[in-house]
Amino acid sequence: MKKVLTIAGSDSSGGAGIQADIKTITAHKMYAMSAITALTAQNTIGVYGVVDTPPDFVAAQLDCIFTDIAPDAVKIGMVSNPEIIQTIAEKLREYQAKNIVIDPVMISTSGSRLLSDDALETLHTALLPLGTVITPNIPEAEVLCGREIKTKKDMLQAAEAITASLDTAVLIKGGHLSGDAADLLCQTGNAPAAFLKEWFESPRVENSNTHGTGCTLSSAIACNLAAGRRLEESVRRAKKYLTGALKEQLDLGKGAGPLDHMYRIP
């Protein structure tokens, strides 16, 4: 059985963070492990409290995992402060982790900040370059490249800028633009300053229950990489899984509710 590790924050309402990741990994029939970076008191309406895990306890969780059950892929989500980010970066290098998908979570669907101001620089320099692929949404990609993204053309330029600056593949998720849900994958090509770009598009699903879409997509990409698939195929399959989970029209809670992660389980 393939093993997938999620390093992320807990969402008490179960739709995003560690809980979304474990459900996604389980729905892919893989073995899920977790290193919890923060507790959030959260529901479909908002985030009401955050308690960060002490960095040495993040390290202890990662030591326990990597010295016992080596993951085939790692997904990283909410990492709220610079010390936690440094710790994770050191451990990923120490254990030579592979197939690393980093969702640079900054703000929740409900609008709360999940990354401190002083953590951004450390995220950028210490952690993101270790990713096999990073998966920012539009506002996160704007922060990473320092320019506005209003159109698909802007996405193309932003993706090149981010890929060039981090030397890492980037998937910019287009869920926050209008029209079809179009995500753009950009990787470095063979020649200097050459980029391989591919769009992954699906019709927009009329469903306001989008809590945890980003967490779910990045975990599903990690599962497909763990299965040995190429990045492009992993993104294609992950998006198909995500779109199917949205189409189920699960409607829980008073705000933006969660997806149906279990829809493929008979």
Residues 6+ apart with CB under 8 A from 235: 133, 171, 183, 185, 200, 221, 224
C-beta of residue 214 within 8 angstroms of C-beta of residue 172: no
Binding segment for ligand HMH (CB under 6 A), chosen from 5-13, 124-132, 147-155, 162-170, is 5-13
Q: Which does 77 bind (CB under 5 to 8 A by kind): ligand ATP, ligand HMH, none?
A: ligand HMH
150 as an active site residue: the answer is no
In angstroms, the Cα distances linking 192 to 167, 175, 188, 196 are: 11, 30, 8, 12
Q: What is the contact mask toward ligand HMH in residues 186 to 205, using x (rule: CB under 6 A)? A: --------------------
169, amino acid identity: A
Does 239 help bind ligand ATP (rule: CB under 6 A)? Answer: yes
Contact call for residue 174 and ligand ATP (CB under 6 A): yes
- State yes or no: residue 175 binds ligand ATP (CB under 6 A): yes
CB 62 within 8 A of CB 7: yes
**Do the beta carbons of residue 141 and residue 107 sit within 8 Å?**
no
Residue 97 or 105 having the CB closest to ligand HMH: 105
Query: How many angstroms separate the CA atoms of 4 and 22, rounded?
Result: 9
> Taking the complex as a whole, how short is the minimal distance between the CB of residue 49 and ligand ATP, in angstroms?
18
Q: Examine residue 108 and tell whether it contacts ligand HMH (CB under 6 A).
A: yes
Site residues (CB under 6 A) for ligand HMH?
A: 8-9, 11, 16-17, 40, 42, 77-78, 105, 108-109, 114, 212, 214-215
